[in-house]
Structure 1
Amino acid sequence: MVKYLFLILYIFLISCSKESLFREEIIIVEKKQPEEIIIIEKKQPEEIKPTDEIIKNEEQNNSEIIVKEIQKENEELIITPEIDKEIETEKVGKKEVDKIGFGEIVKIGILLPLTGENKTLGRSISNALEMALFETKSKNIKLLFNDSGDSLEKATEAAQQAVKEGASMIIGPIFSFQASEIRKNISADIPIFSFTNDESIKTEGLWTLGFSPHQQIDAIFHEMSYHAVTDISIIVPTNIYGDIILQASRRASILKNIKINHIHRYDRRAKDFSEFGKFLNKEEASEDNGLLIVASGKQLKEISSRAQYQGLSPKEIKYFGISGWNNDEILGEPSLLGGHFIAPQQFSYETFVSRYFKLYDMVPNEISGLAYDILALLSIGLKDSKNMQELLKFLINPIGFNGIFGFFKIDSSGDIQRKFISYEVMERNFLKKREIMP
């Protein structure tokens, strides 16, 4: 009888141990199922941290370790922005998306006019981007070139195609009206680095890389103040750009205590400036000791010569300009001799042009320098940035950067502040005078 009791007790103990083993196996299976862990992740977003933060944190709890394992086992699924992940992105809050890591290869959408009237410009910029990628030895970046054309529809389609191909960010387009529309039609979590200088379209996630008219005006008024200019007349084109220049000039004139006595406007499409010259009157400008001419190339030469002919002598009234003056075409024009203008630093740009010419046997457009700068900067940032949040933090480094056009820095709102150089027009060259910091 006692033997039977021992036998029954032994069988009972074995059955209990098996039940315990089965339960333990079920727990292990639950830990390995990504579907169940993802559900936990959505319910408790405050516990989820980026992989790099989890590794550095010595006091990890179980849920953090699980998330870390998931990211390693399913790296492509969670990190890489594939086509079918577009819907998932919309469900996640912006702060969480910013912390989603980059894959081994970061795809950058490039929107340029590769066909149409501006295809030559587009080709020049694409060459500069390829050059930047090669010179920075960036093996973790893939450029996705898409034709933005000259229309709104073409640019929007190109942007959407880049997103479908997995672009984490976009460089381009050239035109402000395209950039503004694209920002409305793709995820706000994909930053756009546009080449436009139209700051009016700037919004969160849309950066304007072009030379800011406001900053140029601030810099040239600083230069006027240096030359003790107190009264000026302004010549600007009759377009939106001219309106922006006037708005910035009125603001800068107050800050620098420089009075604007007369404003003259001209049509940029005009070929004959004989009628315009009649509006320039020596008697009206008798109080002026400065003349700001916002023009470039042949139009600048024509306007300045007309002003001189009407008695506005550059010996009595100092002529000033902004970056449109920065062209060898104006050298040799007597009316501009001794004039002053501001422009980005040229030494590094000239070196860039030399390298570019050796590779492509052509002279690049100035925008190509902007393209080189932004891709080179992103290349450096992506080498140490694990996610978009870290990359953006790198970009707004208050110390700033030195690029093709000299020193610049980016603030948290996306504004790019540049250092300008003041130049004096000589007979055969532009003489560097001084630096004007942002």
Structure 2
Amino acid sequence: MFAFLSSARKVLTRGVFVSATLALAACQPISIGGIGGGTSGGGSGPTIDTSVPVPVALLVPKSNKNASSVATSLENAARLAMADLTNVKIDLRVYDTAGSTEQAASLAQKAVADGAKIILGPLFADAANAAGVAITGQNVNVLSFSNNTSIAGGNVFVLGPTFENTAERLMSFAARQGKTKVLIAHPNNIEGQFGRNAIQQAATRNGIAVASVNDFEFSQPGVVAAVPQIKSAMDSTGADTIVLTSNSAGALPLLGQMLPEAGVNPANVQYMGLARWDVPAQTLELPGLQNGWFTMPDQGTVKNFEARYTQAYGNAPHQLAGLAYDGIAAIGALVEAGNSKALTSSALTQGAGFQGVAGAFRLRPNGTNERALSVAMVRDKQVVIIDPAPTKFAGAGF
């Protein structure tokens, strides 16, 4: 544990908080609707002939040295999903964005000119935003791999797991457990602001008061200085819950160690986290995380996909690969119904959603998504599922 915390302190000193997924899939947001989702409506979409192969453009950064392995994994997963379709043929056309925003915009236009009826990708948020803008008015929707909800809306949907979805799952569960006041602790950066906003909005929707919002400087001294301030805020507000937006590569190890030492006792206060607390496994040993809650997708379905991918391609998939599988699975399910309007926004946002790599998911009219998540607890340094992920959706969602 001490070695792990020492490593975490070094990471904090360098100021590297952002998780690999967020860094790859979100990057710096190009806002078209503010944090939390853009214009609702999602674009209209094309008319297609479901009796012939449907042209689908896959935009991935194949020649980008920092993301080529992700691109390969995404393409492989898309082809694996195509192989799983029974009565649908997909004409997959792959375009290399090289990780360039300008190239993504140009290739989105080329893909539509080539006959693409829907675009899957790009990976980076700014590229996805640019692609959507480049083909505005051409009746083609973009299913991007980003998790940055500030680019969602119009003809752009985000497939990546979002803070909003995680926050809603946590706050709705907390409300059912009788929690009434929450304190939010977050780094004062873009990632932290996204997390803060997501918790605030989800708490309001579920009747939970936000008792205090505590941000801290994006550094080790900032985290250390914030601990007594958080303790004071907990005492003065009587909050029964604290939400930590940070992940294991950021402030979580220090907060998980120092807050209990300062008197924020997990036996009396419910800890919750927006990030996965089981990665890496050492995180589960942190004192502040004992009996704490976080979310995770159904691991049975995830492991099934990983095993099938590994068997097909000889190596494990990148953690984002499932997003490409999900995109093809959704397209296939809609086209199989034989509806010529299968790829319009109204079809893409059907309430029943789709079955994907990590279980049920659905796209929302504002371009964001909702994914079925389990609520997990850290019990005796082990992960225990205390509220399993639903297997299907009911109603219109949040």
TM-score of the aligned structures, taking structure 2 as reference length: 0.76
1:149 to 93, 98, 109: 98
Aligned to 2:107: 158
Q: Deviations over 1:276-310 (max 9, x none)?
A: 12321234322232210112223222321122222
Distance 1:236 1:141 in 2: 43
Q: Does 1:305 align with 2:257?
A: yes
Distance 1:143 1:429 in 2: 42
Aligned to 1:105: 53
* Percent pairwise identity: 23
Given residue 332 of structure 1, which amino acid in structure 2 is its aligned partner? Answer: E
Q: Check the 8 A contact 1:326/1:343 in 2, yes or no.
A: no
Distance 1:129 1:100 in 2: 20
C-alpha displacement of 1:261: 3.3
C-alpha displacement of 1:275: 4.4
Q: Are the structure 2 counterparts of residues 427 and 127 from structure 1 closer, same or farther at C-alpha, using a change threshold of 3 Å?
A: farther
Q: Are the structure 2 counterparts of residues 99 and 279 from structure 1 closer, same or farther at C-alpha, using a change threshold of 3 Å?
A: closer
Distance 1:413 1:143 in 2: 26
C-alpha displacement of 1:138: 6.6
Aligned to 1:244: 194
Task: Work out the number of aligned pairs and report it.
Answer: 340
Aligned to 1:340: 293
Aligned to 1:125: 74
Q: Are the structure 2 counterparts of residues 139 and 283 from structure 1 closer, same or farther at C-alpha, using a change threshold of 3 Å?
A: closer
Aligned to 2:226: 279
Within 5 Å, which residues of 2 pair with 1:182-197?
A: 182-186=131-135, 187-197=137-147
Aligned to 1:369: 322
2:362 to 406, 409, 417: 409
C-alpha displacement of 1:100: 5.3
Aligned to 1:431: 384
Distance 1:413 1:257 in 2: 23
SS at match of 2:116: coil
C-alpha displacement of 1:427: 4.2
Q: Deviations over 1:175-201 (max 9, x none)?
A: 221111111212531111011222232
Aligned to 1:205: 155
C-alpha displacement of 1:421: 1.5
Aligned to 1:293: 244
Aligned to 1:181: 130
Q: Check the 8 A contact 2:166/2:295 in 1, yes or no.
A: yes
Q: Which moved more, 1:319-328 or 1:162-171?
A: 319-328
Q: Check the 8 A contact 1:188/1:205 in 2, yes or no.
A: no
SS at match of 2:94: strand
Q: Are the structure 2 counterparts of residues 138 and 120 from structure 1 closer, same or farther at C-alpha, using a change threshold of 3 Å?
A: farther
Q: Does 1:314 align with 2:266?
A: yes
Determine which structure has greater relative contact order: mean sequence separation of CA pairs < 8 Å that are 6+ residues apart, divided by chain length. Answer: 2
Distance 2:275 2:169 in 1: 11
Aligned to 1:58: none
Higher helix share: 1
Q: Deviations over 1:144-167 (max 9, x none)?
A: 111122221121233233234322
Q: Does 1:222 align with 2:172?
A: yes
Given residue 297 of structure 1, which amino acid in structure 2 is its aligned partner? Answer: S
Distance 1:136 1:413 in 2: 28
Distance 1:163 1:256 in 2: 42
Q: Check the 8 A contact 2:290/2:381 in 1, yes or no.
A: no
C-alpha displacement of 1:368: 1.3
Q: Are the structure 2 counterparts of residues 98 and 410 from structure 1 closer, same or farther at C-alpha, using a change threshold of 3 Å?
A: same
Q: Are the structure 2 counterparts of residues 226 and 377 from structure 1 closer, same or farther at C-alpha, using a change threshold of 3 Å?
A: same
C-alpha displacement of 1:323: 4.1
Q: Does 1:172 align with 2:124?
A: no
1:356 to 295, 301, 309: 309
Q: Check the 8 A contact 1:233/1:262 in 2, yes or no.
A: yes
SS at match of 2:234: coil
Within 5 Å, which residues of 2 pair with 1:28-39?
A: none
Q: Are the structure 2 counterparts of residues 117 and 218 from structure 1 closer, same or farther at C-alpha, using a change threshold of 3 Å?
A: same
Q: Check the 8 A contact 2:167/2:198 in 1, yes or no.
A: yes
TM-score of the aligned structures, taking structure 1 as reference length: 0.70
Distance 2:75 2:47 in 1: 30
Give the superposed CA RMSD. 2.7
Q: Which moved more, 1:132-141 or 1:118-127?
A: 132-141
Q: Check the 8 A contact 1:295/1:324 in 2, yes or no.
A: no
Q: Deviations over 1:105-133 (max 9, x none)?
A: 22211111112312222222112112111
C-alpha displacement of 1:264: 2.9
Q: List runs of 5+ in structure 2 lacking aligned partners.
A: 1-42, 391-396
C-alpha displacement of 1:322: 2.3
Aligned to 1:45: none
SS at match of 2:276: helix
C-alpha displacement of 1:319: 0.9
Given residue 53 of structure 2, which amino acid in structure 1 is its aligned partner? Answer: I
C-alpha displacement of 1:397: 3.4
